[in-house]
Amino acid sequence: MTSITSPPQQAAPPAARPAPERPPEPPPPAVETFAVPMPGTENGTPAALPDNGAQAAAGADGAPGYRIGLMLPLRSEPLRVAAEAVRDGFMAAWERDRAGIAVTVIETGDATQDVLAVYAATLEQQDMVVGPLARSAVTAVAASPLVLKPTIALNHPDGRGETTLPAQMMVIGLSIEDEARQAASWAAREQPGAIAYVLSNPAQYQRRSASAFAAQWQRLGRAAKTADLTVLNGYLNDAELVQLRARLQAEPSAVVFAALDTDQARQLRVALQAPPLGDIPVYGTSSLNPGKARQLPGPELDGVRLLDLPWQIQRDHPAVMVYPQPLGKDADMERLYALGIDAFRVAHEIARNAQRKQQADFQLDGVTGQLKVHFGNGPAAFERRMLPAVYKNGVPLPAAAAQP
């Protein structure tokens, strides 16, 4: 899973807290008010919608539905495809459970000031905002004084451990760092007393993954050693792999965390399995699962443990089967589609509690994991537990199903 970041901008985000000025009056945000055909259906027929600018969803008593603005960077060339994947998943979930909910899809571009202006205008017309998607946009909104209505951000702000979010904002974005921390806890339970070798490639998000694993491993009182592996044209350096084998041979008990892509992990596993090392446990994140279309048959990765979304690992799960499967998307776009589904489900549950004037405390069996939500009384809290999986016959399967 890769990160969603905005393209570089010349203007810095607005300063935090001391009463920044309200953004200038924006031009009316671009609003899409159509029903999205079910992904993967060429001739899908959208549901008929009224011409009044909001998607129909009145309550049983005829009262207007709860209004949700889905704010995505659909005018951003670098982020448009990712935004479309989230939108498609969100609308697929809305099509299944649309009673009492009106959804308006609102476009933004890349610029921070554009995002803030559109966000401010959206708050005047909607009861809740789902978005933004880009990390820099979430950072700017979180630092502004504008967050006065429920806002479900689809990414984490910069400095997430140091940023205090407004009480009305909750972050539900996918996080490679969260996956790595969960992998560390999993490995620590299964490999007591082992030293961890934390391996990373030069990609920035993989280095973040490696750092998160090492920090959690050490927080659990375990020893960790880190190494950046050289990658040239997709191949790991042979001399470095030989050195790694020598270091692992000297360890009485070791575990490897591979912050690598699938092809690099396959090379690593082949190098480690040669005698006399034997079977050294290897753990990783969703970056070790390239998606069904790119999985290769063969035993090289068998036994490698990873964390991923139920959407990717457990297609026969009841929470997954009820939604249409998008065709032609790569693994990362499928994960964003799944994020869109769960974003709607979380927003819908918060909306139901808001209409009853209750705080929201609930759990969901989501397509991105087991979700736990607290919203509406003090700081919001969100937790996602990913699905443990193990490679078997070249395919990652739920950990329980992969056992012999």
Structure tokens at 52: 């009044």
Tens-of-pLDDT digits for all 404 residues of the chain?
A: 655 665 555 444 444 444 444 444 444 444 443 333 333 333 333 333 333 334 544 444 455 689 999 999 999 999 999 999 999 999 999 999 999 999 999 999 999 999 999 999 999 999 999 999 999 999 999 999 999 999 999 999 998 777 789 999 999 999 999 999 999 999 999 999 999 999 999 999 999 999 999 999 999 999 999 999 999 998 999 999 999 999 999 988 999 999 999 999 999 999 998 877 778 999 999 999 998 867 777 789 999 999 999 999 999 999 999 999 987 779 999 999 999 999 999 999 999 988 887 889 999 999 999 999 999 888 999 999 999 999 999 999 999 865 54
Q: Which residues on adjacent β-strands are paired with residue 384?
A: 371
CB neighbours of residue 315 within 10 Å: 11
Apex CA 356: angle with CA 353 and CA 358, to 5°? 55
Q: What local confidence, expressed as pLDDT, does residue 334 receive?
A: 96
Sheet of 305-308: strand order equals 224-228, 195-200, 254-259, 282-284, 305-308, 387-392, 395-398
Please state at what angle helix 262-273 crosses helix 238-249, rounded to 10 degrees.
50
Q: What local confidence, expressed as pLDDT, does residue 59 receive?
A: 44
Judge contact between 44 and 37, C-beta under 8 A.
yes
Instruction: Compute the distance between CA of residue 29 and CA of residue 25 in angstroms, rounded to an integer.
Output: 11
